[in-house]
Structure 1
Amino acid sequence: MIDWLELRCPYCGEPIDVAVDAGAGDQQYVEDCQVCCRPMVMTVSVEQPEGPARVVAQREDEA
Structure 2
Amino acid sequence: MEQHEKFFNCPHCGTIISVLLDLSIPNQEYTEDCEVCCRPIEIRYEVGVDGEIDFEGGRS
TM over 0.5: yes
Consecutive unaligned residues of structure 2, counting only runs of 5 or more, are none
Q: What residue in structure 1 maps to residue 58 of structure 2?
A: 58
Name the amino acid aligned to 1:55: F
Q: Which protein is richer in strand relative to its size?
A: 2
**Root-mean-square deviation (Å):** 1.4
Specify the alignment match of 2:3 in structure 1: 2
Q: Identify the residue that residue 11 of structure 1 maps to in structure 2.
A: 12
Q: Which aligned runs of 4 or more in structure 1 are off by greater than 6 angstroms?
A: none
Q: How many residues align?
A: 59
Which residue does the alignment assign to 1:36?
37
Q: TM-score, normalised by structure 1?
A: 0.83
Determine helix, strand or coil for the equivalent of 1:17: strand
Instruction: Give how far 1:58 is off.
Output: 0.8
- Deviations 1:16-59 (Å, cap 9, x if unpaired)? 0110011101110000001101010001111127x243321110
**Structure holding more helix per residue:** 1
